[in-house]
Amino acid sequence: MSEKLHRRNFLIESGLKLSGLGVLPVLSHGSSTKYYREKSVEIPVFDVPRLKFGVIGINHNHIFGMAASVIRGGGEMLAFHANEDDLAADFQRRFPEAKRVKDKREILDNKEIDLVLSSIIPNQRGPLGVEVMKHGKDYMVDKPGITDLKQLKEIKKVQKETGRIFSISYSERFENRATMKASELIKDGAIGKVIQTIGMGPHRMSPKSRPAWFFDKQYFGGIITDIASHQFDQFLHFTGSDQARILSAQIGNFNNKNYPLFEDFGDVTLQGNHGSGYIRVDWFTPDGLKTWGDGRLTILGTEGFIEIRKNIDIAKNNTGNHLYMANQKETAYFDCSDFPLTYGTLLVDDVINRTETAMSQQHCFLATELALIAQKKAKNISNF
């Protein structure tokens, strides 16, 4: 094993425990708030690829981040399939090493490929995953990875039969550095036992840049199924719940009546076996905001709380990855812009070792199941 690879594996296996070694404290002047800046941690690239992967369907830009995370983890993209020439051209520019193939079967039947990624139109993601698993490959899919309960039942069945990995990329946790930092702080007991999460997922509408399927619920499953799957993932992760029930759910279409099959608002309250949660998602980000959405997460513990401002700190900074914490010892701000992202690396580990270090299969399915149940139960309040 090379020195580079050994060092990377050491960091991964040790859980990237950077608190106390990867943080620079900087005291502010005239303030009781302590400021911490995460050190930029060099994680060397692998000398040779650890696995080869393919991509089928690139209908959402999340695929760029998904592919990049697997490449960081030691993956090599061999091929991709896309029906849309314009999307394919952009993807090819970003990943020139990957060959565009005319038929997805060239990827499904390729024995060299161990993992398939997809951000195809949402209602096609689950059925594609069934195909992938039946071809003996693991699957990493954009959210929503599953758009109805019937799909979920079939996917669970095939996953159990094949033993393959069906991983939904909950990027608002896995690809947000401040949210990953919160995991470390909570694991270290910084705010005691977590008792509630409040997750906000606002998005910008931009109808001119959206394809026709975006406005039809049959394709994306509804606003809770789609956007709120992120917030369900974070609720389960931070409370440690492995069971939960929906207490209430609402949906509405308040400002997009010209798209009658669309929903621009949704909220949910839920109770888990280790905490409670509130979720709100919407398509009301104003054009004046310098990001697509002021995503926030508040985590309440018995000994303090954490607030994450994922994409912007509207009062003072147009960048993202901000974490605020108050506990029994201090009030602190963490600049998490350099905190490492590990999902892609851990998923590659799981594909190779048949483990569940990136995310358990049970957690992956439960986060989506809760979103699907909440969507089905939601009361339409468009006309209140």
- On whether the 51-169 domain is CATH 3.40.50.720, my answer is yes
- Contact assessment for residue 299 and residue 327, using Cβ atoms and an 8 Å cutoff: no
| Ranges assigned E (strand) in 203-303 | 244-252, 265-272, 275-282, 296-301
1-44+171-384 shares its CATH topology with 51-169: no
State pTM to two decimals: 0.90
Q: What pLDDT was estimated at residue 15? A: 37
Q: Average pLDDT for consecutive 10-residue bins of the chain (384 residues)?
A: 38 37 45 80 73 97 96 96 96 96 98 98 98 98 98 98 98 97 98 98 92 95 97 98 98 96 97 98 96 97 98 94 97 95 96 98 98 98 88
Q: What pLDDT was estimated at residue 6? A: 37
Q: What pLDDT was estimated at residue 27? A: 44
Q: What pLDDT was estimated at residue 337? A: 94
Task: Name 31's Cβ contacts closer than 8 Å, sequence gap at least 6.
Answer: none
Closest CA to 371 of 279, 293, 284: 279
Give the sign of the dihedral formed by CA 200, CA 204, CA 210, CA 215: positive
Q: What pLDDT was estimated at residue 11? A: 37
- On whether the 1-44+171-384 domain is CATH 3.30.360.10, my answer is yes
Distance CA 149, CA 152 (A): 5
How is the chain split into domains, by residue range?
1-44+171-384, 51-169
User: Per the structure block, which two tokens stand in for 349?
Assistant: 């580990």
Helical spans, DSSP H, in 163-228: 171-174, 177-187, 217-220, 223-226
Q: What pLDDT was estimated at residue 44? A: 56
Closest CA to 172 of 215, 202, 146, 216: 202
Q: What pLDDT was estimated at residue 123? A: 98
User: Per the structure block, which two tokens stand in for 294?
Assistant: 């002021």
DSSP 8-state class, residue 259: S
First to last CA, the chain: 64
Distance CA 149, CA 95 (A): 35
